[in-house]
Amino acid sequence: MATAGEARVWARGALRGIGDSLYTPFCGTDGDDIDWDAYRTLVRYCVGDLGHPMLWCTSGIAEFWSLTLDERKRLLEVAIEEARGLNPHVVIQACTAAMSAKDCLELTRHAQEVGADIAYIQTPMMEAHGGEGVLRFFKYVAARTDIALGMFNSPSSGYVLTPAESARIYDEVPAVCATKEGAFRPEASRRLHELAPGLAVWECDRTVYRAGWLRAGIVCPAQLGTAGYLFETPQRRLFSEYWDLVLNDKLLEAMDYGRESGMDQFDLDIGSWWTCYPGRSDYFTHWGGAFKYAASLLGLPIGDYPHSRPPQAQLPSEAKAQIENAYRRLGLIAA
């Protein structure tokens, strides 16, 4: 685990490779319980079968907004227990976003105590008074913890930090060492790098890596928290092979691989079901039911309650058909 004082040196060497954002498998009436055996299987699959070096825990895909604090704590503990049993060096990233600074502090302290490497704080979802309010939130948590911190700048929060606001948080909170830029605004990430060159930036728009931004040092050599385990299987390691080409600066080969493997086409075929609910198309969502349906197609356990918890909707049949057809065309499931 990196302490606050060690965070920035640690991040330069530790944040590398594919980080898997884990879903939460629910079970029981209305999904009121968690299928812990299924969750343990998912962790072992990502770290053991796929060999991915990082995990991203209790974030949007995990439906953190639907989980109790106790559930979030236990999910992190189980992930650490299972992952470190397979790879003692796996990087555990805990997402500790909460509506109140006090709840965020409780989750961040817990992450520190159980051995997570870094805690990411998503921009608060309600009443965020711009960058100034978010800075106060970070300072409150940082003053009471001793763990590396990251920012998660997601449009699902309802407010996206500007590059200047993120850079100010980096300047004034020494524990902050990384950011997940989830708004798909590449030029903002480029500007943020200019303002805070020591900050490890992950831009979620994958095209920037093909454009040489890793070579230029604008973005870090990691996919911090993605659903990488849904883009490959142990038998067909599409995403890992593509990412290895990018890491080794073989950009032309990476572009060819993306096209010839079917990965580029898959992005088009699967549509926007993972991040867009048609009834509220202007909102960037993490549709848990869509991610879990994709996982089920690959044979991963998702619990006997396959849906998201409310207030998300249940995934419609047309979405399931489109997702399944996308996987068949990619060749990860039988045609």
Q: Give a yes or no: residue 238 inside a domain.
A: no
Compute φ and ψ for 118, nearest 5 degrees.
Answer: -155, 150
Collapse the DSSP code of 221 into the 3-class scheme (helix H, G, I; strand E, B; otherwise coil) and give the result.
Answer: coil
Tokens (6 digits) for 121: 């704080």
Compute φ and ψ for 22, nearest 5 degrees.
Answer: -85, 140
Contact in structure between 102 and 109 (CB atoms under 8 Å): no
Collapse the DSSP code of 33 into the 3-class scheme (helix H, G, I; strand E, B; otherwise coil) and give the result.
Answer: strand
pLDDT at position 9, please?
98
Any idea what the CATH number is for the domain that residue 39 is in? Answer: 3.20.20.70
CA distance 143 to 109: 11
Tokens (6 digits) for 239: 């995403």
The CA-atom distances, in angstroms, between 51 and each of 86, 87, 131, 240 are 9, 9, 37, 9
What domain range is 268 assigned to? 262-335
State the total domains in the chain: 2
Q: pLDDT for 16-59, tens place per residue?
A: 999 999 999 999 999 999 999 999 999 999 999 999 999 999 99
Do 189 and 87 belong together in one domain?
A: yes
pLDDT at position 1, please?
81
CA distance 90 to 15: 10
Q: Give a yes or no: residue 205 inside a domain.
A: yes
Peptide bond into 311 cis (omega under 30): yes
Cβ count near 44 (within 10 Å) = 15
Query: Which residue is associated with the tokens 């100034």?
Result: 132
The CA-atom distances, in angstroms, between 238 and each of 251, 258, 261, 298 are 15, 9, 7, 14
Do 86 and 41 belong together in one domain?
A: yes
CA distance 70 to 77: 11
Q: How far apart are the first and last CA of the chain?
A: 44
Collapse the DSSP code of 40 into the 3-class scheme (helix H, G, I; strand E, B; otherwise coil) and give the result.
Answer: helix
Do 53 and 193 belong together in one domain?
A: yes
Cβ count near 201 (within 10 Å) = 25
Q: Give a yes or no: residue 1 inside a domain.
A: no
Do 18 and 153 belong together in one domain?
A: yes
Do 268 and 151 belong together in one domain?
A: no
Do 154 and 266 belong together in one domain?
A: no
Q: Give a yes or no: residue 193 inside a domain.
A: yes
Q: How far is CA 198 from the centre of its chain?
A: 21
Q: Which residues, 6+ apart, have CB-to-CB distance to 139 below 8 Å?
A: 172, 173
Do 191 and 327 belong together in one domain?
A: no
CA distance 134 to 193: 19
Quote the pTM value. 0.97
Q: Which of 209, 230, 251 is the last residue of a domain?
A: 230
What stretches in the chain show pLDDT beneath 50?
none
Q: Give a yes or no: residue 196 inside a domain.
A: yes
Do 176 and 317 belong together in one domain?
A: no
Contact in structure between 11 and 177 (CB atoms under 8 Å): yes
Do 217 and 284 belong together in one domain?
A: no
Q: Give a yes or no: residue 256 inside a domain.
A: no
pLDDT at position 228, please?
96
Contact in structure between 215 and 280 (CB atoms under 8 Å): no
Tokens (6 digits) for 186: 């590449």
Contact in structure between 303 and 29 (CB atoms under 8 Å): no
Do 221 and 151 belong together in one domain?
A: yes
Q: Give a yes or no: residue 235 inside a domain.
A: no
CA distance 304 to 9: 43
Do 81 and 188 belong together in one domain?
A: yes
